[in-house]
Amino acid sequence: MRIPLTRRTLLKGSGVAIGLPMLEAMAPKAHADAVGKRPVKRLVCLSNNYGVYRKAFFPEQPGRDYEMSPTLAPLEKHREDFTVFSHLDHGISGGHACVPTLLSGVRPYLAAQFPEGNISMDQKAAEFVGAQTPFASMTLQVNEANLISFTRTGVQVPAIDLAQVYRALFLDESPEAKAATSERLARHSSILDVVLEDARKVHRQLGKRDQQKFDEYLHSVRSLEQKIVQQKPWLEKPKPKTEMKEPRPTGSTEKDLRTMMELIALAIQTDSCRIFTLSSGFRGGDFGLGGGYHGFSHHGEREKEVAALKLIEGNQIAGMSYLIDLLKAQEDTRNGGTLFDHTMILFGCGMATGQHSTKDLPLVLAGGGFRLGEHRAYPEEEGQRVPAANLLLSMLQNFGIEIDQFGTSSGTLRGLEWRAA
């Protein structure tokens, strides 16, 4: 299906050039000079909360000539544009409690032991993007709670559904709603001004150890202040137009997931947002199945439950494949090539299987200009294992962030390079 949004549509729909997706005038002036100096990167993270059925997910042979596994079969046509990884994980245990660690490797209750807490990869990238787009990131859900996005202060980012995504991207607020938002931002700014002034006075009275803790608090306040400042320029800018009608949940995860992929592709095409996390799951009646995802995941190798998992997880990979189709079909007017060429798409789970194992996470990376097209099997012996966070660090560096450590990483992922822009 072709993305229902083109330059012609925008010109016809709005009648003015400012509706076009790639105009520098759509970005705050502070970032205008940066356009064109480096490639514009996008990041999509896809997940579920129950892992995968391993025997249908991981290929048996490493290398480029591996036989495609049943669950990954929907990606066959994109074989040269994705890599599946074996024996990468975060080296932690805890079953369901590890689901939120996918994009950092850090258990939330241990966040204080890390310089950046348990900030997730998507939110680290969102900080880097800042106000270059109307939405620094979008956390999404389709019939499943999204548990994987965390700010550097340890706050879980709430997720939105199909209708909320569409309204955020394409429906302009009324003048009254805009005025209320502007007033709210001004009020919050005033409150923060007072808080920061009082905080400086308190800071001078503290000892060195308390000052360090207080500095962390001040950083949180300043981050909130910065977000408020970033939101203001976008209040009066008109949103892009689309012929796509506002979607309504259909009761089918398969259909709703495809629609969400179309919305992600539209958001990327209009440069409304560059960073997305999406968790998808199962709804009773999907594929004619009764029962629940959690129950299926404790399959015990029973035929009925295993068959259900193959359908559910195959649908998630089919959604990833569909998103690649959509992005390959659209020209990248900023970077050249297609939108897919500069969009990284990661599929993964913080818990490897529904039976609570967190070892050997299911991880697939597509796009972004990486040199892909293989099944990479890393050492599985203790003492030689490679942290999954090394993959996250490699992706953040590809995104343009100049760091040499992230979460529980020990370095970048060797053998994973990207082509020069």
Q: For residue range 76-96, what is the model confidence (pLDDT) as tens digits?
A: 999 999 999 999 999 999 999
Residue 157 DSSP one-character state: P
Least confident of 220-229, 256-265, 325-334, 406-415: 220-229
Query: To the nearest whole number, what is the mean pLDDT of the chain?
Result: 84
346 SS3 class: strand
d(CA 83, CA 418): 13
Please state whether 349 falls in left (phi above 0), alpha (psi between -120 and 50) or beta.
beta
CA torsion angle 248 254 260 262 (round to 10): -110
- pLDDT tens for 300-339 read 999 999 999 999 999 999 999 999 999 999 999 999 999 9
Confidence of residue 174 (pLDDT cuts 50, 70, 90): low
**Domain residue extents for the chain:** 7-172+242-399, 173-237
Share of the chain above pLDDT 70, in %: 76
Supply the pLDDT for residue 139: 96
Residue 262's φ and ψ, nearest 5 degrees, are -65, -40
Residue 399 corresponds to which tokens in the numbers above? 């995104």
Average pLDDT over residues 380-405: 95
Looking at per-residue pLDDT, the higher value among 42 and 421 belongs to: 42
Sign of the alpha-carbon torsion through 405, 48, 84, 322: negative
Find the mean pLDDT for residues 15-32.
36
Summarize the confidence of residues 402-407 as an average pLDDT.
Answer: 96
Between 152 and 308, residue with greater pLDDT: 308
Give the Cα separation of 117 and 119 in Å (integer): 6
Measured between its terminal Cα atoms, the distance across the chain in Å is 29
Query: What local confidence, expressed as pLDDT, does residue 7 receive?
Result: 35
Can you tell me the mean pLDDT for 112-123? 94
- Per-residue pLDDT band for 400 (boundaries 50, 70, 90) equals very high
For residue 239, give the amino acid letter: K
Give the CA distances from residue 282 to residues 9, 143, 257, 289, in Å, rounded to whole numbers and listed in that order. 35, 6, 10, 10
| DSSP state, residue 296 | H
Q: Where is pLDDT greater, at 8 or 233?
A: 233
The DSSP code for 68 is: P
Predicted confidence band at 23 (pLDDT cuts at 50, 70, 90)?
very low
Predicted pLDDT of residue 200: 66
Query: In degrees to the nearest 10, what's the CA dihedral of 26, 31, 37, 42?
Result: -70
Q: Is the pLDDT of residue 388 over 60?
A: yes
For tokens 């203790």, the residue is 382
> Which residue, 367, 320, 391, 248, is CA-closest to 46?
320
Local confidence band at 130 (pLDDT 50, 70, 90 cut-offs): confident
Q: In the chain, what are the helix, strand and coil shares in percent, each to the nearest 5?
A: 45, 10, 45
How does residue 218 score in pLDDT terms, banded at 50, 70 and 90?
A: low
- The pLDDT of residue 235 is 60
pLDDT at residue 212 above 70?
Answer: no
Cβ atoms within 10 Å of 60's Cβ, excluding its own: 10
Which overall architecture, per CATH, does domain 7-172+242-399 show?
3-Layer(aba) Sandwich (3.40)
pLDDT given for residue 9 in this prediction: 37
Looking at per-residue pLDDT, the higher value among 273 and 199 belongs to 273
- Is the predicted pLDDT of residue 207 greater than 90, yes or no? no
* The pLDDT value given to residue 305: 96
